[in-house]
Amino acid sequence: MQSSDAKKLAPMARAAMGLALVFAPMVVAAMENPHAIHRPSPALMEQLAQLAAQPQRPVRKELVWSGADIDGDGAPDFANPTGAAPRGHDDFGDGRFGARRDGGSRSHEGVDYVGAAGQDVHAPISGYVTKIGYAYAGSSDLKFVEITNPALGYVARAFYVKPGVEVGDSVRLGQPIGTIESLQRRYPGIINHVHLEVMEPGGERVNAAELITQKTVVRA
């Protein structure tokens, strides 16, 4: 090493020695008592103990049916009448809104929600029972329950329901309004369902599947 290099290093060496002198007593103290410097507080120890004692609950993701909030009050205004998905395809056609019926001469004016005969049907909207009618002219086998919500201006008709309510009753969203009738006598082999028609203010029938959608929720 050249003497000129040694001169350049000298200040750094002095600085390093100075640092060593400052920290050495702390290092010695830590070696003598490892808990002296970073001992956790009793409060922190207590928190750690509580965390360790808690059972680990797995987080579950679930798909749930969610109704549109038409009036913007933060609460849903529509509910799935059966809790199941709309009917797909069977020998009698598709369950979606606008599907072909009678060879295309008319279109399906509701959405068919799959369900089991005898299970509860839930009110698709809140309101008053304004009509209980027959699904087909000339037959008293199959009925519909009509609910009107004067505040929203919407009307909903749930078909193939054995009514558990009467005209004039007030119903809350999702409340049982009856049970599902079997469709097997009229349409042998069809998937049993509730046919739901929703009319917006003015009376136009709209696609319930756009008002009742699925979303993912996380449950702890």
Residue 157 binds Zn ion, judged by CB under 5 A: no
- Comparing CB distances to Zn ion, the nearer of 110 and 178 is 110
Q: Residue 92 or 128: which CB sits closer to Zn ion?
A: 92
Q: Give whichever of 111 and 147 is closer to Zn ion, judged by the CB atom.
A: 111
Residue 76 or 86 with smaller CB distance to Zn ion? 86
x-marked contacts with Zn ion along 183-212 as a string, rule CB under 5 A: ------------x-----------------
Does position 77 interact with Zn ion (CB under 5 A)? The reply is no
Q: Distance between CA atoms of 211 and 114, rounded to whole angstroms? A: 17
- Considering the complex, state which of residue 123 and residue 208 has its C-beta at the smaller distance from Zn ion: 208
In order of 106, 129, 190, 204, the CA distances from 133 in angstroms are 21, 11, 22, 19
User: CA 132 to CA 190: how far, in whole Å?
Assistant: 24
The binder of Zn ion chosen from 76, 79, 112, 160 (CB under 5 A): 112
HSE on the CB side for 155, CA within 13 Å? 14
Largest CA distance in the chain: 117
Q: Using an 8 Å Cβ cutoff, are 106 and 75 in contact?
A: no
Question: How big is the site for Zn ion, counted in residues (CB under 5 A)?
Answer: 3
Task: Look up residue 24 and give its amino acid.
Answer: A
| Of 18-26, 31-39, 105-113, 144-152: span binding Zn ion (CB under 5 A) | 105-113
Non-local CB neighbours of 152 within 8 Å, separated by 6+ positions: 70, 71, 77, 125, 127, 201
What is the smallest separation between the CB atom of 49 and Zn ion, expressed in angstroms? 59
Stretch of residues binding Zn ion (CB under 5 A), selected from 5-13, 27-35, 107-115, 168-176: 107-115
As a whole number of angstroms, the distance between CA 14 and CA 20 comes to: 10
Q: Which stretch binds Zn ion (CB under 5 A): 8-16, 35-43, 109-117, 135-143?
A: 109-117
Nearer to Zn ion, 85 or 169 (CB): 85
CA–CA separation, 19 vs 13, rounded Å?
A: 10
- Minimal CB distance to Zn ion: which residue? 195
Read off the tokens for 201: 């203010």
Residue numbers of the site for Zn ion (CB under 5 A)? 110, 112, 195
